[in-house]
Structure 1
Amino acid sequence: MIDQQRLWDERAARDYDTPGEGMFAPDVLDRTVERLARLADGGRALEFAIGTGRVAIPLSAAGVDVSGIELSHAMIARLREKVGEAEIPVVQGDMTTTFAGRDFSLAFLVFNTIANLLTQDEQVECFRNAARHLRPGGRFVVELWVPQLRSLAPGHPGTVEVSRPGYLLVDTYDTIRQLVISHHVRFGPDLADGSDARMSRTPQRYVWPGELDLMARLAGFDLEARWADWDGEQFTADSRSHVSVYRLAGPG
């Protein structure tokens, strides 16, 4: 059993924020917020695993009424340094069971976070929990990476995903259980704790797009659209990630 509170602790919350860079870069974040605002269609939005507010804060600033669910106390504390409860309400808890209200027009789960649920059953329950929050015809949006198993060399169950100054990301795969461990190695003179290098690990359960679609159908959703990115580029066999939009049965 993974202790998610320990995994997403104060240091993880601090390291998560990289203002203006990476997933916080304007060319990434602006497109994400613009697309989600359109999909909300004037209604309320709920972010599963809201984290430190990377998407929720600018989405709220764009005029969308945003609430959140978040398991990590440290992530919520970081979010609260930026905005108050009145602006973006957050319920602390697991995204598979925690309830934050009804009649949302949009629920969303970005940046591969559904993979933090390490069993198929938990991932199915995440879809069912999204359905409980949405009004008929509401949308559930999932941003997720595509497993890169084609890049695995025979007999070598690991890949180097990122290699840049100060950071190395190595993924190791358990293809029987559909699990991948991401090994994050940070090094150089700028580490806050003064060490030469620091390593952390994050486990994930990878999901193929077709499997995700079946999970959605079990919860009463139909696939409305799938893009390769937030710009709406066509999803192909070579796409490394996807943004999938599911629509709950009913008018809308």
Structure 2
Amino acid sequence: MHDEDGYFGENVAATYDASSADMFRPDMVDPAVDVLAELAGDGRALEFGIGTGRIALPLAGREVPVHGIDMSRAMVSRLRAKPGADTIGVTIGDFATTRVPGTFAVAYLVFNTINNLTTQDAQVDCFRNAADHLRPGGCFVVEVTVPELRRLPPGQSAVPFRIGPTGWAFDTYDVVTQAMSSNYVTIVDGRAEHWSIPFRYVWPAELDLMARLAGLRLRDRWETWTRAPFTSESRRHVSVWEKPAD
């Protein structure tokens, strides 16, 4: 149910870390933290969509001052219960427009969270908000999938990505509006329960234009946090845009 926490209310927050356990593995987290700590240098880091602290906590553990913005009080309460969270400041609000005091060496948005902004205007606002928070020479980092429209058969709008005996999951795409949704069907005691989250998919070139509108320029684009080259076959990318030093 959509509430003041957006689509990440108590029902999602209660099981989020367990359901996303693969994303919490050290081989998934450490390379991201390495990149972000390097970009932060002696400055502060700002996370858009801080959630339960998957990246923020280990980044703060590297002695990088971290502040986060998130709409979901339920997710943030899970973060607050974890060791080390007392060093992290959090502001409740929409990360596309919410402003926090001070400037930052790096702002970042990971794990497809840019797609949680379901309009192009909101995504553009997000880039402008990031740029407004950055010090000269600072960077905005986004990790997001490349839209998988090549997997979409002609005449169909759904792509399954998980099928099992207790449930299945699929994405739906609207190629006119770039609206998409991730849908989860769970079978419990022979009954099916459906849960859906709306997104807006976005192309790398479109993100580059949003960055230019915000006064940022592309510095790096990799397939992974380990800086593997981005190619025509890459299914995701990590992109770094820089605010001019002058």
Name the TM tier (shorter chain): over 0.9
TM, length-normalised to structure 1: 0.91
Q: Which residue of 2 aligns with 1:222?
A: 217
| One-letter code aligned to 2:63 | G
Q: What is the deviation of 1:165?
A: 6.1
Amino acid in structure 2 at the alignment position of 1:110? V
Q: Give the match's secondary structure for 2:219.
A: strand
Provide structure 2 residue ranges, at least 5 long, that are not aligned to the other structure: none
Q: Which residue number in structure 2 is paired with residue 148 of structure 1?
A: 148
Letter in 1 for 2:112: N
Equivalent position to 1:239, from 234, 237, 242: 234
TM-score (normalised: structure 2): 0.93
Q: How far did 1:20 drift?
A: 8.8
Q: Residues 8 and 19 of structure 1: is their aligned pair in 2 closer, same or farther, counting only changes over 3 Å?
A: closer
After superposition, where does 1:47-66 map in structure 2 within 5 Å?
A: 47-66=47-66
Deviation, 1:198, is 3.4
User: Following the alignment from structure 1 to structure 2, what is the Cα–Cα distance between the partners of residues 20 and 95?
Assistant: 22
How far does the alpha carbon of each residue in 1:82-124 deviate from its partner, in whole angstroms, 9 at most, with x for none?
1576410001000111111222100000000011011111000
Correspondence for 2:181: 181
Q: CA deviation at 1:167?
A: 5.0
Distance in 1 (CA, whole Å) between partners of 2:27 and 2:120 is 33
User: Is the contact made by 1:222 and 1:246 (CA closer than 8 Å) also made in structure 2?
Assistant: yes
Q: 1:130 matched to which residue of 2? A: 130
Residue number in structure 2 paired with 1:191: none
What residue number does 1:33 align with?
A: 33
1:39-89 CA-to-partner distances (Å, cap 9, x unmatched) read: 112211000010011110111112211110011111111111115764100
**Distance (Å, rounded) in 1 between the aligned partners of 2:235 and 2:242:** 23
- Indicate the residue corresponding to 1:199 in structure 2: 194
Pairwise CA RMSD of aligned residues?
2.0
State the distance in 2 between where 1:197 and 1:17 align: 23
* Residues 47, 56 of structure 1: 8 Å contact kept: yes
Structure 1's 125 and 62: CA in aligned 2 closer, same or farther, altered over 3 A? same
1:185 CA drift (Å)? 2.6
The letter of the residue matching 1:24 is F
**For the structure 1 residues 250 and 174, does the alpha-carbon distance in structure 2 shift closer, same or farther, using more than 3 Å as the test?**
same
Q: Secondary structure at the match of 1:78?
A: helix
1:247 is displaced (CA, Å) by 0.1
Structure 1 stretches lacking a partner, 5+ long = 189-193
Contact in 2 for aligned 1:102/1:132 (Cα 8 Å): no
CA distance in 2, matches of 1:136, 1:200: 42
- Matched length: 245
Distance 1:206 1:19 in 2: 22
Instruction: Give, in whole Å, the separation in 2 of the partners of 1:107 and 1:53.
Output: 15
Superposition map of 1:81-160 within 5 A: 81-83=81-83, 86-160=86-160
**2 CA distance for matches of 1:19 and 1:202?**
15
Q: Secondary structure at the match of 2:220?
A: strand
* Partner Cα distance (2:140, 2:165) in 1: 36
3-state DSSP class of the match of 2:171? Answer: strand
Q: Give the letter aligned to residue 15 of structure 1.
A: T
CA distance in 2 between partners of 1:98 and 1:236 (Å): 34
Query: How far apart are the structure 1 equivalents of 2:220 and 2:127?
Result: 16
147-156 or 94-103, which deviates more:
94-103
CA shift at 1:128, angstroms? 0.5
Counterpart Cα distance in 2 of 1:228 and 1:199:
32
